[in-house]
Chains A and B, each alone.
Chain A
Amino acid sequence: MSKTVLTLKVQPNIPLEAELLSPDIIAPLGNKEIASLPVILGKRQKRIDDFFHIEGDGSETLEIHGDLGRVKWIGRGMTRGNILVHGNAGMHLGAYMKGGSIEVGGNASDWVGGEMKGGSIHIRGNAGGQLGAAYRGSLSGMKGGTILVEGTAGIEVGMRMRRGVIAVRGRVKDFAGLQMKGGTIVLMSGAEIRTGAWMVRGTIISLEPLKLMPTFEFACAYNPVFMGIYAKSLSSKGFNIPYKKENGCYRRFQGDSSVPGKGEILVWNPNH
């Protein structure tokens, strides 16, 4: 399978907005046309080849090498194809994406998958805050798709998300699931404080004990049927969540009653 390989040759000294780094735009183009695509450095328009060395013609697979920590909007609004980033990725990775997949070998910055509607994003390192979140002022964040993070994540994970799945293997910071309206967040290593604040609907699953807000009320301890199906689906991606009765049960907390909300936080309680 052919692929397009971009290698960062000049590290931008300020953030570079490169929303054209998306298979939808690059796939139909030849090598030279890709090279002349515009990117915005500060308030100046530049060409992609001012910063990247480009090999091959356009294809459905983009491979990007280098520390792209200052390169924003990679894969913005993409609907198909794959992007592989061998290195770090900057803010707004995969924002508004509708399909296809993005894989990042290093760390990613804030707003990964902001307001995405479909597709999948897999971060091997750590991610910043606002995974799959709603941009300021918007009423809903991600509406579908999957975000998987192997490392830690920052604040406001899944803020105002409506559908889709976010799973984080490391610990996440404050306000996970802030004002959440649906969808699922899986916290493999728990979270800091104020998890699920203002949540209206949706599910937060934590495998570690959480410091919950007083507006969440204990409902019951049980083993939800859907957890088996979820576990099967997530285990194919390397995220193993327990669901068997003999291993323990989930304590279900309902809230946030200050909104009032019908959300749930499920905290895994293993048998000792």
Chain B
Amino acid sequence: MAGNSKLRITGARVYDPANGINGEIKDICICDGKIVADIEGGRTINATGMVVFPGGVDVHTHVAGAALNFARGMLPEDHRQNDPFVRTRNLRCGISGATPTSFVTGYLYAGLGYTTVNEAAVPILTARHTHEELRDTPIVDKSTCVLMANNEILMELLEAGEYERARDVVAWNIWAAKAYGVKAVNPGGVAGWKWGKDCKGLNEIVPGFNKITPRQIIAGLANIVDDLGLPHPVHLHCNNLGAPGNVSTTLEIMKILENNRAHLAHLQYHAYGGDDWFNMCSASAKIAEEFNKRKNLTTDAGAVLFGNTVTITADGPWQHLLYKLTGKKWGNIDVENETGCGVVPYVYKEKNIVNAVQWAVGLELLLLIDDPWRVFLTTDHPNGAAFWRYPEIIHLLMNADFRREQIAKLAPEAIGRILLPELNREYTLFEIAIITSAGPARSLGLPHKGNLGVGSDGDVTVFSHTDDVAKMFAYPRYVIKGGEIIIEEGEMRNTVEGKGILSKPFYDPKVEDFLRPQFQQFYTVSFDNYPVEIERIEHPDIRPCKGVQS
């Protein structure tokens, strides 16, 4: 099956922002899984009256791993409420909901026209499990970001000023986890959580350490990632997530990152004004103004939609606070020496002022950040909402009248705290193609994704062109992954296996001599059992790094 078929999509309006194509009618040809200039023979799909996008790319999502599985186990009631996927000749069974099962995750992503996802938080200790689960997440290509900002060995090295060794350790860790990028979650704060504390301020000394601060961890990691030349910049979940008034922390972090590339994850959760829950308000204007100036940064929205979901993050202290606020369920995982994790089911309600502000801030950031190449559509799945609700956000972005209808449903006290009612911008299809595909692919450093240029992967989504935007994006007519037709006439008829996208930065092999005794002393896992074997990765696609080579 794989890749030897020829395919031509003809008659459709093509939106390929990476190549500056905005709604032109042209043919897209695919041969051997790649986009080519022209083909002879092969199958032709007549897509007259439809629109063609490059396959979607999700820059920040949580679809596999120990924390996800923990959440699945914690939420049998969510599984009962959602429709089961029944086994068919082509598809495995499973359940949807806030944390869909692994196979269903693949089907649902492909069902939205997404073909690449970035699992944004993987501790090395559970990387093996994560890769096993990603192997069972079909169709989509998968990259992962490894959690590094609370890694005890790394923090000790940064504290001691041993920068080069720290760089080698990061590079070794990336390859050990078979990861693609570096994720930093609440730098220092999660390490502090092991002492029942947090790091709210960027200049606080991390509990358990003598002098290192979140500021130094952020700067250190950003420099290391740039020096290693990883395709994707440091993927940062800032300190102080979710807290009223955290806008000052976020602005300060932007300053720290002045001379680095960086991706700020789920910016919505980091753009609040006020100083407590009673006067919390949107600070998206301040954030967007600063962000617009700083061209070295990209971000994703982390938008919120109303309804049931579950929050899963490595940010343990925040999750404990959220549990105290909701009083329902709380799961906490400690990952020795590396990070932590919290799981709290949550319901976002329109009539809750805080939730209404969060909902508005996500959309405001998407509307106020003027360069769509630097802000991407996410919900921080499943934290803000499940990823299969993306079409609802696209609808809100493309239709200001619909937005106003939804604003009218909010708690009236929330209106004075948000900017959304004043924003009239409406996204065009071209811009939607950027924030759902071309932009994230560029930020992830994947030149063969998110565009329809010759030589790119044959990942193409064909939508029917209707005024009902939510429906249009929820039910693509055709989804093509690597040249294989997955969805045809809105029905999933075929599945393929996805690739594992990895990066292999350079490190001095001598770093193992340093790490081995550290492991023997502090870890419960033996050093030789720690790295994930390359054989565990399904169809590995190792991307080049442009940084230090010796």
Please report A residues at the B interface, Cβ cutoff 8 Å.
135-139
Contacts and interface: CB of A to CB of B under 8 A. Distances in A.
A135 B76 contact: yes
Interface string B77-114: 11010000000000000000000000000000000000
B328 A139 contact: yes
Contacts of B80: 135, 137
Contacts of A138: 77
B429 interface: no
Interface string B317-338: 0000000000010000000000
B75 interface: yes
Interface of A is mostly: loop
A139 B77 CA distance: 9
B328 A137 contact: no
B247 to A, nearest CB: 34
| Most chain B Cβ neighbours within 10 Å, of A135, A137, A139 | A137
Given A136-B76, A137-B75, A137-B78, 11 more contacts: A135-B76, A135-B77, A135-B80, A136-B77, A137-B74, A137-B76, A137-B77, A137-B80, A138-B77, A139-B77, A139-B328
Contacts of A137: 74-78, 80
14 contacts: A135-B76, A135-B77, A135-B80, A136-B76, A136-B77, A137-B74, A137-B75, A137-B76, A137-B77, A137-B78, A137-B80, A138-B77, A139-B77, A139-B328
A136 B75 CA distance: 9
Interface of B: 74-78, 80, 328
Nearest to A43: B87
A236 B80 CA distance: 37
A140 to B, nearest CB: 10
B76 to A, nearest CB: 4
A72 to B, nearest CB: 15
A138 B76 CA distance: 8
A135 B74 CA distance: 13
Nearest to A136: B76
A223 B77 CA distance: 40
Nearest to B79: A137
A138 B328 CA distance: 10
Contacts of B75: 137
A139 B347 CA distance: 13
A198 B296 CA distance: 53
Contacts of A139: 77, 328
A130 B541 CA distance: 52
Contacts of A136: 76-77
B331 to A, nearest CB: 12
A137 B308 CA distance: 14
A136 B76 CA distance: 6
Contacts of B74: 137
B362 to A, nearest CB: 27
A260 to B, nearest CB: 13
A136 B79 CA distance: 11
Nearest to A139: B328
A138 B81 CA distance: 11
Nearest to B80: A135
A137 B76 CA distance: 5
A218 B78 CA distance: 39
Contacts of B76: 135-137
Nearest to B78: A137
B182 to A, nearest CB: 35
A138 B74 CA distance: 10
B72 to A, nearest CB: 11
B211 to A, nearest CB: 42
Contacts of B77: 135-139
A105 B74 CA distance: 37
Contacts of B78: 137
A96 to B, nearest CB: 10
A68 B76 CA distance: 27
A77 to B, nearest CB: 13
A138 B78 CA distance: 9
B291 to A, nearest CB: 39
The 5 closest A-B pairs by CB, nearest first: A137-B76, A137-B77, A138-B77, A136-B76, A137-B75
Contacts of A135: 76-77, 80
B351 to A, nearest CB: 20
A95 to B, nearest CB: 11
A135 B78 CA distance: 11
Nearest to B74: A137
B401 to A, nearest CB: 38
B89 to A, nearest CB: 16
A135 B499 CA distance: 39
B534 to A, nearest CB: 38
A98 B74 CA distance: 27
A138 B80 CA distance: 10
A135 B76 CA distance: 9
A135 B81 CA distance: 12
A259 to B, nearest CB: 11
Nearest to A134: B77
A216 to B, nearest CB: 22
B177 to A, nearest CB: 31
B323 to A, nearest CB: 14
A41 B54 CA distance: 45
A43 to B, nearest CB: 10
